[in-house]
A and B are shown apart, each in its own frame.
Chain A
Amino acid sequence: MTGSITSASTYTKPTDLECDVCIIGSGAGGSVLAAGLVERGLDVIMLEAGSHYTRKDFKGNQAWAFDNMYQERAGRATEDLAITLLQGRSVGGSTTINWTTCYRTPDRIFDHWAEHHGVQGITPLLMKQHFEAVERRLNIKEWPLENANGNNRVLLEGARKLGWEPHALKRNVRGCVNSGYCGEGCPVDAKQGMAVSYLDDAVRGGLRLIANCEVEQIQWTERTAEAVIGQALDPDNDQPLGIPVTVRSKVVVNAGGAINGPALFLRSGIDAEGRVGKRTFVHPVSGVSGLFEDTINPWAGAPQSVGCHHFSDRGSDKMGFFLEAAPLQPMLASTVGYLFGAKHSEFMRDLGNAGVVIALGIDGLLPQDVGGEVVLKSDGRVWLRYPIEDHLSECIHAAHVEMARCQFAAGAKEVVSLHVNPVVMRSVDELSKLDSAPYGAHEQSLFSAHVMGGCAMGGDSGSSVVDSELRMWDFDNIFVVDGSVLPTSLGVNPSETIYALAHRSRDRIASAV
């Protein structure tokens, strides 16, 4: 049986549908699950708020991509606007616009979840088959270091010289032409995002995928979800068209991502005694820019191909971080930092010789680090409240020093921080200048493309939202299958962990129908 991809914007009247499983969200979690469920003969409907785009729409244009395929048109940020949050919003979710970096979950994270959060049955050994399965389907393989672009070579060479053991990253691509436009939707379908892989499998197996349908509420009684209530959106402006879409299913899966997913529960009056939306983590990203004699062209080539985990574990009382590179097309590059006018134009003119190393803080592992909280505003907007606490400021400071050290080791003639008042260093002897710089909110540019948590899994109903099988403790037929179930951040890019957890959940969810 072949399924379909339709847009709710084509509906002309209220629409009622029935199925075995209704999946909300078409990203990494929902898509892998959908393929597994239709393979098991189940009737599955998937609702996606964003539009469906294909390679013919992808021209490597960041302005178009931000406008059409990112949450809040790439304007999403934490409540105090201190951290910019880049998340996908189209069929395939963030996998359509991510930078393709894939890691298995580190063993120490699985151990931490078991020891501190009571997670059961999720171990390196038991997850191995799921990692192998998604790696095969998505062709997740190491990207040869000889293909690394100038930006990643900065990290590679700097970290090697410092003895930090950088490594080649794995990517989910087939036939990649090393263009560097992963973040704008792959223009050659090489990236094995969900839209061209698991969703394609699922639709060929019978999935009914409805795009431009935003879910407003889950209706429920006692321990049972009764219906999913959505509304059709106008794809041109994302405004409601006044046409309700109701799906009645035996099982409901919230796979809406780690901000919109918890927000849906909160709108539905499902809060797990105040735990929904709590413990949200973001791998807060800071960066420094190095200026090189050689051409870097940080916009060209695979965005990420080198990683370094030398600072992942900084002891039990400090937040660790890991290092990667970031692609810098002019639009995204222009938004970092605080400069304007002639100084900013100068920064942009030097962009072709700039190499940017980024540090991603590993939040949620320290006992005092409870991360952020998803909250609903009275006007319907969703915010992530994420305070920048002392342990994070210390981490950002330490990361700045090591990133700058790496840039100089790689040959930078000047390294500049992205502070309101940039710290300019011309040799490694000037790293101490960073010690007097501030590291709080709105002191320097902070980003995140990895929102995790908010519906944490755990070993008991008093401290988590879902059990280790991803079922909500308070419901018999609601599951959560996306990055929101992670009890902490991962210390690696999260997509493969979500793919594998979704793959693991297929039998359990199928058995709940």
Chain B
Amino acid sequence: MGTTRRRFLKYGLGGVVLLLAPALGLSLRKSVLVEPSGPLRCLSPRQFSTLVALADTLCPGGDGLPTASDLGVAGELDHLWSRMHPGVGSDLGSALDLLENALAGAVLDQRFQTFTACSADVQRSVLLDWANSAIKVRRAVYKALRGFVMAAYWGNPTTWGPIGYAGAPDFSSIPSPPPFDEFIKQQEAVTHEAAPPAPSAPQDPQ
């Protein structure tokens, strides 16, 4: 018996429902939310929580180094992005949404939970997948998010001691160089003093 339009629609729709149901379920998987220490300026609570998990995976601390959470890296980036073009925060927020989404995770990373709900091992594995992805956009997103997180973390003086960097000394007592006109006069005076004596005028043969 050939496939009638009715049978196709009946079974086809059934198939779609069968496929959509788990997809819908995955996309509705809950995030593990983290309470920000202050009002968010740019990110949604879900995006912020994803950023917290991402930052702690990138910068887990240990051996004297703090975790990214210890330094409030996610909050700092929320503040930073709020002071950039609105499109920047929007793009990075969308990237965090994609990282967090369990359906996207199932398709791209073979994991069936939101990023924030994954174990630390799985989160590391997910980030390695993003860094090595054959999809160039994923590598780009990884690079961008990683760069912001690393800069916020290692720009914090708390991280410097364990790696032997003392930070800048106080330069305030060092005087500025003299104004240009004065400098040139000094230079000319030095040059004049250092110059060999001018040759004497030719003697008049008379």
Contacts and interface: CB of A to CB of B under 8 A. Distances in A.
Contacts of B143: 81, 338, 442
Contacts of B87: 377, 379-381
Contact of A348 (B146, B147, B163, B171): B163
B165 A351 contact: yes
A6 interface: no
A342 B62 contact: yes
Interface in A191-219: 196-197, 200-201
A66 B155 CA distance: 10
Contact of B139 (A62, A177, A334, A420): A420
A334 B151 CA distance: 6
Interface in A37-80: 55-56, 58-63, 66-67, 72-75, 77, 80
Interface stretch (A110-118, A181-189, A281-289, A423-431): A181-189
A63 B71 CA distance: 14
B159 interface: yes
Chain A interface size band reads 35 or more
B192 interface: no
Interface stretch (A325-333, A368-376, A396-404): A325-333
B143 to A, nearest CB: 6
Interface string B145-178: 0111011111110011011110111011011110
Interface in A399-445: 420-421, 441-442
A280 to B, nearest CB: 20
B58 A341 contact: yes
Contacts of B163: 330, 348-349, 351-352
A82 interface: yes
B171 A188 contact: yes
B172 to A, nearest CB: 8
A197 B136 contact: no
A93 to B, nearest CB: 19
A179 interface: yes
Contact of A177 (B142, B162, B164, B174): B174
Nearest to B132: A420
Given A67-B80, A75-B88, A334 B150 contact: yes
Contact of A340 (B139, B146, B172): B146
A63 B131 contact: no
B57 A340 contact: yes
A294 to B, nearest CB: 14
A58 to B, nearest CB: 8
A214 to B, nearest CB: 12
A60 B168 contact: yes
A2 interface: no
13 contacts: A184-B168, A188-B177, A236-B83, A237-B83, A331-B155, A333-B154, A335-B147, A341-B58, A348-B154, A349-B164, A351-B165, A379-B86, A442-B139
